[in-house]
A and B are shown apart, each in its own frame.
Chain A
């Protein structure tokens, strides 16, 4: 059976939280993410994905987590574990190296960078949905960080909003292999239409 082609005019590649703090040696969460980064060869696959999507003229969006700055979480009464740790360690510090996108995963000037999400979903209180709808997008290809938090939360929001969701199996990172496996075994089957590899994505991308 021939696999369905990925239509470049209806599909957006959404890169979630590709910060140095997550993806680069020396980043504040790099040590935790290292096992998955190495096992999946995440950075190489993210670079390949972006290259293929750019060559095909696909819509590319970046969905960044809130960068740490003084008072960024002041409006919240309850800090969930991920926000609490982000505040404690000042992860993705605004203006610092850790709060910048990894060099090979940075947006071009023509690419859309959504407003920052404070918790996990790239859709909640951001302009991502508005931008995607304006561009006639009905299918999302998700990659980046972290498998069972921001990636899965964004996918769960996306299906409620009516998008078809593809998750890239080897362009992800998580704080442990157990976290990544929890997402792939248990979470993604509920919120993604398919989970495919970078090479499969590139092979199915409509020329």
Chain B
């Protein structure tokens, strides 16, 4: 019981501290949209057979629109695989085993194409990567530095796969990271809850629903 109270005190302290950072304002905010691709969002995709939790296409599109209206930079980070990528080591871990076995997000296929209604003029589209961490093998870090970005809102992708790996790396690189908890996919509700309620609150500044992120004063 004492341990639980200490744990709760720790969470309260860190929430209070994150509030002291100020808000998601101005041109130093970027939205990092992971896997904005047909296989993830199109109705014809077999994605829903494998992912019980799916980010709602309309909600994601609407969120991105609102973010553009606030002058937040939108960065699209597509994920694909080929016969030779990712490395053998990564191919044998959970997410890549799942997408390869089910032919999802295979480079060159229709399913790997970007969702046209999620991309707009002025968005930055990163090089396609074959890995969970959007900072590896892409120009993401250079792009963020070039545009003076200090705060990242991360959404899309799969909660315990690319979203988790990319969020952790963003924190390592000293960005203020906010994760949109309801604009992601997950294999199960349990996976989503473990990531959004247990693990990421120890790592990132804020885990909020898309609506709450947009309620943050600008």
Residues of A whose CB lies within 8 Å of any CB of B are 31-32, 34-35, 76-82, 84-85, 88, 118-121, 124-125, 138, 148-149, 152-153, 156-157, 159-160, 162-165, 175-176, 178-179, 181-183, 185-187, 189-193
Could you list some 9 contacts between A and B, CB below 8 A?
A77-B176, A81-B201, A82-B202, A120-B171, A149-B199, A160-B90, A187-B195, A190-B94, A191-B93
Does B215 reach chain A (CB closer than 8 Å)?
no
B89 touches A176 (CB 8 A): no
Name B's interface SS: helix
Whether A31 lies near B2 (C-beta < 8 A) is yes
Distance (whole angstroms) from the CB of A183 to the closest CB of chain B: 7
Q: Are A120 and B89 touching (Cβ within 8 A)?
A: no
B154-179 near A? 1/0 per residue, CB < 8 Å: 00000111001100110110111100
Q: Does B205 contact A (CB under 8 A)?
A: yes
- Across the interface, do A78 and B175 meet the contact criterion of CB distance under 8 Å? yes
Complex interface: chain A residues within 8 A of B198 (CB): 148, 178-179, 182
Q: How many A-B residue pairs have CB under 8 A?
A: 142
* Contact partners of A85 in chain B: CB under 8 A: 10, 13-14
Q: How far is the CB of A22 from chain B (nearest CB, A)?
A: 14
Known A-B contacts: A81-B10, A175-B202, A190-B132. Give 11 more (CB < 8 A): A32-B3, A77-B174, A77-B176, A149-B199, A159-B132, A164-B92, A165-B89, A176-B4, A179-B202, A190-B161, A193-B92
A192 to B176, CA, bound (A): 27
User: Is B172 within 8 A of A124, CB to CB?
Assistant: yes
Asked if B51 is at the interface (CB within 8 A of a chain A CB), the reply is no
With a cutoff of 8 Å between Cβ atoms, the chain A residues found around residue B191 in the complex are 185-186
- Scan B114-137; emit 1 where CB is below 8 A from any A CB, else 0: 000000000000000001110010
Q: Evaluate whether A190 and B89 lie within 8 angstroms (CB atoms) in the complex, with A76-B174, A121-B168, A148-B199 already known.
A: no
- Assembled-state Cα–Cα distance A81/B204 (Å): 7
Least CB separation from A178: chain B residue: B198
Q: B131 touching A160 by the CB < 8 A rule?
A: yes
The size class of the interface chain B forms with chain A is 35 or more
A85 to B6, CA, bound (A): 12
Interface of A is mostly: helix
In the complex, which residue of chain A has the Cβ closest to the Cβ of B203? A80
Q: Which residues of A contact B90 (CB under 8 A)?
A: 159-160, 162
Given contact pairs A32-B6, A84-B13, A162-B89, A182 touches B199 in the complex (Cβ within 8 A) = yes
Selected contact of B205 from candidates A34, A80, A187, A189, CB within 8 Å: A80
Given contacts A84-B14, A85-B10, A119-B171, contact A193 B202 (CB under 8 A): no
Q: Tell me the bound Cα distance from A72 to B90 in angstroms.
A: 34
- A119 to B199: give the CA distance in the assembly, Å: 15
| Inter-subunit contact A193/B177 (CB<8 Å) | no
The chain B residue with its CB closest to the CB of A30 is B3
A175 to B172, CA, bound (A): 20
Residue B42 at the chain A interface, CB threshold 8 Å: no
**List of A residues within 8 angstroms of B165 by Cβ:** 156, 160, 190-191
**Is B17's beta carbon under 8 Å from chain A?**
yes
Interface centre among B4, B131, B194 (most CB of A within 10 A): B194
A186, closest chain B residue (CB):
B194
Q: Is B7 an interface residue (CB 8 A)?
A: yes
Task: Check if A192 sits within 8 Å of B172, measured CB to CB.
Answer: no
Most buried by A among B21, B131, B133, B160: B160
| B87/A186 in contact, CB under 8 A | no
CA–CA, A152 and B10, complex, Å: 20
CB closest residue in chain B, given A187: B160
